[in-house]
Chain A
């Protein structure tokens, strides 16, 4: 198990390179096998993961450019473990859902496997340069997926996605370099090691500027209001598989960045910026939920709802207590599962009818009952019904945030109302009422391929809604450790006060 993390990162990429020589007809089978092995490896990682240890596990360290302190350095803790597993799961199910007649199937599989490497790499990296490399590399396969398999405006959407996020990332890179420079000033050695950075005490002024630099990279990725407009374009043009991975995993890179970089390295600035982040997040939650309600295209509803839910995650990240932060990590996972499933479901109906406009459907519940049921389960998870996966994270985030701001919680809590407004409106328009077009009467219900991709997600939605403990416990341990680290590291008394690891200790 010594090199399991490296295997997890590079196995899909190596398999992807070998994939070029695979026969065209068996490309999908090859992709499924590789993704399945990757998922098994990820589950194996979980099995051998010590859930009581809140720190980094399975760490690997080998210097690359030692005079600049750049090294290949990876590790996993309770925060990243499940995101990696989710990335592997979503990739596998996404590949399963690919239609056999997808054009250039081989290129698609290779792109997806490369994408999987970059995603896993981002979440496991403990070295800023390695992190940045995976972060930027993830753009390439996605650019290709949107640009090659997308809708009519795919080139515009793909370029917009690429340039926008790339611009933000470059500013983040400046921040990372500045950070290493500051570390050098302080200690005399160069290091891009995150764990080294965690020990560095920065002045509030330095923290302020570094926070802004990191923010521009992470916030565009999340995407936070007002940097979100690339997302509806990307989703609108991306093929189903692209949207699924984008919503489920790629967006989480942004919020994960805040958790891994901004909070522990810049605790004072994180607390200083909290009102600013809160304001943006609340706008995200409410404004984009309203925009989602105005949509006519089913996929755009889900796209905007993603932004709205990412707002809740952001609120939890900056709640600065174990409930809120733990809840937001859980919500990253649950949003990945639920939004991934919802984009798959939109893809299913789009493949059958060639449209995503809700007014064109109507009465689908009678024509496609199984499809309607799966959609209904995901809808309920999306609006945060208790005993589904969606409730746990949302509840914990709002609960944690209440300590920060009661008014803010009420505003953010409107998500349970306006979230159900746009989702129920979507469901009513598409699934209820009479069937509006006669040709829709003959639509086929979910077939084996689609059920294979969707039913595991349904099972997870219920399982983790009823019994979230196996996941929540390791997350909670690592989150508490992170908060303790922040508290010890903070310069200002006010920061220490804002961070609540456990209120029992405070009293």
Chain B
């Protein structure tokens, strides 16, 4: 089994090196796409085999070699494949394989095809380290690794110039990439502090050692560790107030958005909370867990509200990702770790599908993102229409679909926990989710064919790409059917979450309420946006001038706030400090230099060469000495 662990881990790395070292100089080599996709596929097969093995024989734990040892600290490269990590491995490798295949089509005409695959495979490698590591430092390797790959990939089209905020809220790919990296680093500092706290109080960073030691630690310390680690999670999973980078990350190529900014990397924070469940389920940190759940519910609603009026097809999907991450945190915060993980997996499948579908639309529309310019495209893009429809149904949580099982379980958890405010927010958000998802679908594929007037000639994606997307569609529909199997598998590792009998009989009604709300949302969207001819959607200019619309359309002015109150003051202060450095700090040094120079200059006047002048000075000197002696004598 050990070999399989290494194959799953290193196959993507081999791919990255293959593309990066041997083919970086040529723009496009078809072989690179094939080889890299196959290598990720091999990693997926290894992960499947490992999953079967884990189900039967339990976790596999390997230690490759030692990494850092200094003082008492000893960090190995150790990898743990248990129920939790193997689930993540399956999700990551499956979605990655499909995204790799998809990219061979999507990036077909790009000038830097090989470079793209080098980065994409490197990302998968980092993500595998993140989920497979058996200690917090190893997790941090992956954590930073995915950060860098994300930076490289968001800024993939680095040649684009900076625009003003009004023209493009993300300014430029390279700007968005830097924003993502720096904002994540803010959170990483929290994570590092958590690691330091663990080390100095436990003496090890290995998961098993740390989790076994938790009961012996003081309450206040546990709370600090829980907060610090969660700050780390907030960055990667883009929780408020560190969320703005995620929507801006849409500047990257769409396969990147599908893989990194929807299915995998952004779930790293949720994964961390799930991984550290022995910590977060302690009574002492209940407050932190409740905060996580509340923040999750807030973000779910907050992001959904912005998605209601967004016009950019990728931003809508990004905001829905943000919203769904909120659901996952709500579940994890309430102690339903396995449900959070289940929703994480289900979400990965249907969200990747949704993003790749959106990518098809963009590809067809020459990278146009504004849904106001689309409409009626189902005629020309039937395949993508079906896929996006399936993904949206799953996202809206309609019966049979994957999202129905996972999201409903989260909503029921909130009710069961007695957190009715969180419950109410999640229910309302579910209705909003259905509305904005189908608003996007109807805007794009139904209604008047607005694109024609603008001179677009859309056509659907390559056939093989559409076929490659099929597994995601199948899983978006059917993944929920395996909920019981998943439950049985995962609760060997994660704590079970039992619905209490007092509320469980209400579940059908609660579920029904959610379905009704979702259907209402879809219906309103249908009414407003799917009509043709006389019923066709018209722009409501008046509404677009209203305060509430502007507030939402400007992302609640949070990016503006960051610019005005963080970026600009920091830049100003930096410039001021530089001036101070030159004028005051260095000025003082120069002053000392000048003074000694000047004093030499002045006293040069004494050296006239005339003997009588020297005698005079000697007299002055003697006098001074006598005075000095007299004073000392008087004092002494």
Contacts and interface: CB of A to CB of B under 8 A. Distances in A.
Interface string B563-585: 00000001101110110010001
B145 interface: yes
Interface stretch (B153-161, B298-306, B475-483, B535-543): B153-161
Interface string A148-182: 00000000000010011000000000000000000
A386 B185 contact: no
Of A233, A410, A424, A432, most buried by chain B (CB within 10 Å of CB) is: A432
Interface stretch (A96-104, A195-203, A287-295, A342-350): A287-295
B210 to A, nearest CB: 15
B175 interface: yes
Given A416-B192, A432-B158, A433-B174, A503 B72 contact: yes
B585 A402 contact: no
Interface stretch (B63-71, B100-108, B620-628): B63-71
B159 A421 contact: no
A434 B174 CA distance: 11
Interface in B81-129: none
Contacts of B181: 420, 424
A399 interface: yes
Contacts of B22: none
A226 interface: yes
Given A424-B178, A432-B158, A413 B192 contact: yes
Given A322-B72, A416-B185, A433 B574 contact: no
Q: How large is the interface on B (under 10, 10 to 19, 20 to 34, 35 or more residues)?
A: 35 or more
B189 interface: yes
B24 interface: yes
Nearest to A226: B585
B593 interface: yes
Interface string A404-442: 001001100110110011001100100111100000000
B65 A432 contact: no
B496 interface: no
How would you classify the secondary structure of chain B's contact residues: helix, strand, loop or mixed? helix
Interface residues of A, number: 68
B575 A502 contact: no
Interface in A455-507: 466-469, 472-473, 475-476, 479-480, 502-504
A31 interface: no
Contacts of A326: 70-71
B158 A414 contact: no
A406 B194 CA distance: 11
Contact of A467 (B65, B71, B189, B581): B65
A475 to B, nearest CB: 8
Given A380-B148, A417-B189, A420-B182, A434 B161 contact: yes
Contact of A468 (B68, B144, B160, B178): B68
Interface stretch (B195-203, B486-494, B549-557): B195-203
Interface string B47-80: 0000000000000000001111111110000000
A493 to B, nearest CB: 22
Nearest to A300: B578
B68 A392 contact: yes
A399 B158 contact: no
Nearest to A434: B161
Interface in A387-402: 387, 391-392, 395-396, 398-400, 402
B162 interface: yes
Contacts, number: 155
Contacts of B575: 294
B188 interface: yes
A485 to B, nearest CB: 16
Given A229-B585, A387-B141, A409 B71 contact: no
A229 B193 contact: no
A399 B185 contact: no
Contacts of B161: 433-434
Which of A399, A467, A472: most chain B CB closer than 10 A?
A: A399
A326 B186 CA distance: 26
B185 A417 contact: yes
B69 A293 contact: no
B160 A428 contact: no
Given A326-B70, A385-B148, A398 B196 contact: yes
Contacts of B199: 399, 402
Interface stretch (A136-144, A206-214, A245-253, A362-370): A362-370
Given A295-B578, A469-B69, A472-B68, A229 B141 contact: no
Given A290-B577, A417-B182, A472-B69, A432 B155 contact: yes
B70 A386 contact: no
Contacts of A290: 570, 573-574, 577
A326 B74 CA distance: 13
B586 interface: yes
A38 interface: no
A327 interface: yes
A230 B593 CA distance: 12
Contacts of B571: 293-294
Contacts of A399: 73, 195-196, 199
Contacts of A287: 577
A433 B189 contact: no
Interface string A207-239: 000000000000000000110111001000000
Contact of B24 (A163, A369, A380): A369
Interface in B250-307: none
B392 interface: no
Contacts of A502: 71-72
B174 A428 contact: yes
Interface in A352-392: 363, 365-366, 369, 373, 380, 385-387, 391-392
A291 B574 contact: yes
Among A163, A287, A380, chain B packs the most CB atoms within 10 A around the CB of A287
B629 interface: no
B217 to A, nearest CB: 15
A293 B574 contact: yes
A472 B70 contact: yes
Given A399-B196, A504-B72, A410 B189 contact: yes
Contact of B159 (A228, A363, A392, A479): A363
Contacts of B24: 369, 373
B589 interface: yes
A421 B589 CA distance: 29
A260 interface: no
B196 A424 contact: no
A184 interface: no
B172 interface: yes
Given A413-B189, A413-B192, A434 B577 contact: no
A130 to B, nearest CB: 30
Interface in A312-351: 321-323, 326-327, 330
A164 B589 CA distance: 9
A369 B158 CA distance: 12
Contacts of A327: 70
A82 to B, nearest CB: 14
B11 to A, nearest CB: 18
12 contacts: A290-B577, A396-B68, A398-B192, A406-B193, A414-B189, A417-B186, A420-B185, A424-B178, A428-B175, A466-B67, A475-B70, A480-B71
Interface of A: 160, 163-164, 225-226, 228-230, 233, 287, 290-291, 293-295, 321-323, 326-327, 330, 363, 365-366, 369, 373, 380, 385-387, 391-392, 395-396, 398-400, 402-403, 406, 409-410, 413-414, 416-417, 420-421, 424-425, 428, 431-434, 466-469, 472-473, 475-476, 479-480, 502-504
Given A229-B589, A432-B158, 18 more contacts: A291-B578, A294-B575, A295-B578, A323-B70, A323-B71, A326-B70, A386-B144, A387-B141, A398-B196, A399-B199, A402-B199, A413-B189, A413-B193, A417-B189, A420-B185, A433-B159, A480-B71, A502-B72
The 8 A-B residue pairs whose C-beta atoms are closest, nearest first, are: A322-B71, A229-B586, A432-B174, A402-B196, A323-B71, A294-B574, A432-B158, A294-B578
